[in-house]
Each structure stands twice: as structure tokens, then as C-alpha cells.
Structure 1
Amino acid sequence: MEPILHGIILAFGLILPLGVQNVFVFTQGVTQPHLLRALPAAITAAICDTLLIILAILGLSVIVLQFEWLRFGLLVVGILFLIYMGKVIWSSGAANVEGKEALPVKKQILFALSVSLLNPHALLDIIGVIGTSAVKYSGQQQFAFAVTCIIVSWLWFLGLTIAGATLKKIKIASKVFILFNKCSAVFIWGTALYLLMGLLAS
């Protein structure tokens, strides 16, 4: 039970804070005409997290944490990406919220891939925290820890999509979602600034 409880607490702790991935998946639930159309974003984000968790537990964390230049490169690319994503989310207007300009499936998948694999916070959290936490387990215990983290990730992203679609059904004013987008963009830019300050200080 220890690795399972550890996996639940750790995975929820890392995934709960508002971030680019969460904002994007939730927004798809709101902007797509129906729930099924929003699922590609949630499934892609969950698959990316699954892949990163497996790689982290298999030892990718050791490689990334060993090479400073690799960590530096990830952060620089990630900061630029966060600035761009903040701009995209900030300019999302009422048309997007009302589903008139919902993203097609291909764009949903590409955006979900980018917010999952180019987000330094998500990468460093999964590689640095889950990867290093898994080291204390071996065999079946490590497998249970990995599976628990993966299940939490899938349930979270599917839940976010359903929450977005449900809020849309109860006819919350589009201004509320536009305000949510603006606040999310500011948060994302704040994250980029925080990472930049950490990079300059190191």
C-alpha cells in the first residue's frame, strides 16, 4: 500500500496546481461543441504524462539531472514556449468560448503535445520528483508506484475536460471564461518569469 498511497499523494500534488496543461485541457471542455470533441486534448496530455512518468522511472531523471546544459536548454525552450502560450490564451476571445472557433482535432493534439512536452515545469516535476521518488522502490513496488501515478494523471485530465463541458452546459456567461483565460495567461507569464529569475540566479 505504501507505494500506491505515495503515488496518489505525489501525483495529485504535482498535477493540481494551475498550469498550461490544465488550462488547455479545461478550455477544450469549454470551447468544443460537445464532450467527445474535447477528448483528444485530454487523451494526448494523459499519454504524454504516461510516457514521461515511465521514462523518469526508467532513469531519464538521472541523465537530465546529471547534465547541467540539458537542464538549462529545457528551461530556455520552456520559458519561450510559456511566453507564447500565454499570448495565445490571452487573445482567446468570446468566439472561442462560445465554440464558434473550436480547435480541430489535429490542432488539439499538436497543442496538447506542446503543452505537455515543452512545459519545463511539467518536465522537471515528473523527471525530478517522480523519477527520484521511484528510486526508493524496486520490483512490484516500483511498478505499483508507476501505475498509480499514471492512473491519477488519466483521471485528472478526463475530469478536467468533463468539468469544462459541464460548466458550459450550465450557461455560465462567456465573460467569466474570458476572465479565466486572462488570469490563466497572467499565471503562465508569471511562471515564465519565475523560471527566468531562477535561471539567471543559477
Structure 2
Amino acid sequence: MVGRRDAPRSRRSDRDQATPRRPPRRARLPAGTRGPAGPRSHRRVLRSRRLRSRARETRHSTDCLAYRFAGDGGGDDGTGDDDGGTDGEERAAAERRDFVFSGDTEAFEGLANFADGAAVLAHDCSFPDEVDVSNHPTPSQLGAALAGHDVGRVYLTHLYPHTEGKHEEMLASVGNRYDGDVRFARDGLRVDI
């Protein structure tokens, strides 16, 4: 019989014990990501053969970023460089494959510009219009920010319990200012772009 003194002191595996634990590192944002909104605040975060992404600061009580992902050579990489072989129509068709995720944010013109031309925008819309809130948009605020912008489809995300039973009302409120396809996101939703 093994006594308490002979029992292992840790439940970690041998592999875990051989690998020293490192404290998590805080991610560093690309230079220029913070600061006043404008073209310099749109920074490339990732670029590979199949996927490119850019980030943009949002308006929230804590530091948050929105992301724009372009796959298979589609979309603008945010550098301002022209690849040379793409005319305007082909570039517009390629950009329609972009996916934009707002993160936690208020609705504002700069973020609407960042999402303009994307196939899909998943945007925070946490509360119905009758809730007075900051740091998250109401449907009417989101509709006003998106007015005049071209996004293939908008999915409302980050829904608080206050939105239960008010989905049709919220869609109508966004639609009063924004003339685009607006739907509610749900857990496990997959979207082909």
C-alpha cells in the first residue's frame, strides 16, 4: 500500500512537468492601430496566401478591435497597393468575399466605412431601441451608421436578454435607415462566402 508521502504531488503529466510554464504574453497591436480614426488606423494584422486580415479600433469602454478577413486573394489588404492585374469590377467582386467582425463597439461611421463592400458583417447590437445604453448600439443607431454603405448581409450579434421577443421590431428599426439584408446570428451559425 502506498502512503500519502509516496503519492504524486502534482496531477500534471510528465510532459507538462518537462515543459516549463510561461506566463501568457499580452498581444501587441500593430503600430498605428490605436489613435484617431482614419486610414492610418486600419492596419494589416495577418497576410498569407489564402487569408489576409486588417484590424481597426472600435469605440467601447475597453480596448477592442474590429477585424476584416479576406480569403483567397479577395478584398483589400489595407496597404493601398494595387496588385496591378485587377480592374475595378474584378476587385469589387473579390471584395464581396470579405467577412467583417465588429467586436464590442458602438455603431459609428468609421466602422461602417471599414465594412463597406464586405459580403458579411457581424455587428454588435446588444439592446433594443428602448434601452438607453452606451458602448453598444441599438438597432436604430446601427441602421443610421450603415445607411449609404454596401454590405452583402449584416448579422446582429452579442444579443443581451433584453432582445428576446423583440427580433422583428429590431430588424424593422435597422431597416428604417439601412436598406440591406439584416438577420440575427445564432450559436453555431455557418456562413458560406
Query: Shorter-chain TM-score category?
Result: under 0.3
Which structure features the higher share of helix residues? 1
**What TM-score comes out, normalization by structure 2 length?**
0.24
Which is bigger in relative contact order (C-alpha 8 A, separation at least 6)?
1
Q: With structure 1 as the length reference, what TM-score do the two structures score?
A: 0.23
- Structure 1 or 2, whichever has the larger Rg, is 2
